[in-house]
Structure 1
Amino acid sequence: MATAGDGPWLDDPWLDDAAGRLVRPYTVSNGRTRPSTALDLMSQVMATGTAPVGYLGPEHEQALDLCRIPVSVAEVAAHLKLPAAVAKVLLADLVGCGALTTKPPVFHHHPTDRALLEAVLDGLRRQL
């Protein structure tokens, strides 16, 4: 099982050092594949300070913890080691209950500019 140096998922029974994630990613989002809020991979999300009402789940709590500062949807997905589609659903849940705010990405260049996309990819690689 996880050890003390493994991070915030220390008490997470769904992770195992040898086997990895013991729950399929889409189980985390209850099988949902479409977020209720439109989110781009480069959209910025940030915690509002409002506590979510009701139980959401450990992945929601981990995502909310990551969003104490503005962070992109792609970064949240990478940190949670979840597919972007699943991370978007979790983040949309948090936006829906008022725990997160979202801001669309601001492009100073064309959004499909190769240099911009390569810079994003390099940044994500450094995070992993």
Structure 2
Amino acid sequence: MTEDTADASREQGSQWYDGEAGPLVRPYAMTGGRTRPGPTGVRFDLIALVTLDPGGLPADGDPALGPEHHTLVDLCRTETQSVAELAAGADLAVGVIRVLLGDLLDLGCVTISRPVPPAQLPDERILREVIAGLRAL
């Protein structure tokens, strides 16, 4: 740390300020020390899709939700997003996103779905035969 950076840090009056990064908040502070989502039983894979439930939108002044929760809600307002996209958009660690999504899911603010695994999709050969059969009609 340079002397100028140290002086700027002291001017802010806190060790939780970095001259280049701004205020620092530890991930455990955002999640209340939790490392796993609540008792929902839902796995938040990186490709799990998060959709905002319009009937369960939280109030802006809801004390149960922090600013990070509201950031996730805002990111989901325009379109369904994956957990990985939310982590990138909110600039938070995936572990933090999973805990925050668990809170939102428990409150009924979001729904979680998974894309269909490739193993469960129909075989391409069968689809081509169906298309050929339809064209023959």
Question: How many residue pairs are counted as aligned between the two chains?
Answer: 97
> Which residue of structure 2 aligns with residue 42 of structure 1?
47
1:51 and 2:57 equivalent? Answer: yes
Q: How far has the Cα of 1:18 moved from its partner?
A: 1.7
Find the residue that maps to 2:33 and give its secondary structure: coil
Structure 1 segments (4+ residues) deviating >3 Å: 14-17
Cα RMSD (Å) of the superposition?
2.3
- 1:12-64 deviation line (CA, Å, top 9, x unaligned): xx987722451012211111100123211110001111222632010000001
Which has the larger helix fraction?
2
Matched, 1:60 2:66: no
Specify the code of the residue in structure 2 equivalent to 1:63: L
The separation in 2 between residues aligned to 1:100 and 1:43, in whole angstroms, is: 12
CA distance in 2, matches of 1:105, 1:65: 22
**Unaligned 5+ residue runs, structure 2?**
1-15, 121-137
Indicate the SS of the match to 2:98: helix
TM-score (norm 2): 0.62
Q: Distance in 2 between matches of 1:17 and 1:44?
A: 36
Determine which structure has more spread, i.e. the larger CA radius of gyration: 2
1:79 and 2:89 correspond: yes
Query: Is residue 40–residue 105 contact of structure 1 (8 Å, CA) maintained in 2?
Result: no
TM-score, normalization by structure 1: 0.66
Q: SS at 2:58's partner residue?
A: coil
Q: Residues 1-128 of structure 1 correspond to what in structure 2 (within 5 A)? A: 18-36=20-38, 37=40, 38=42, 39-49=44-54, 50-52=56-58, 54-55=62-63, 56-68=65-77, 69-108=79-118
Equivalent pairs: percent with the same residue?
Answer: 46
Residue segments in structure 1 that go unaligned for 5+ positions in a row: 1-13, 111-128
Structure 1's 58 and 16: CA in aligned 2 closer, same or farther, altered over 3 A? Answer: farther
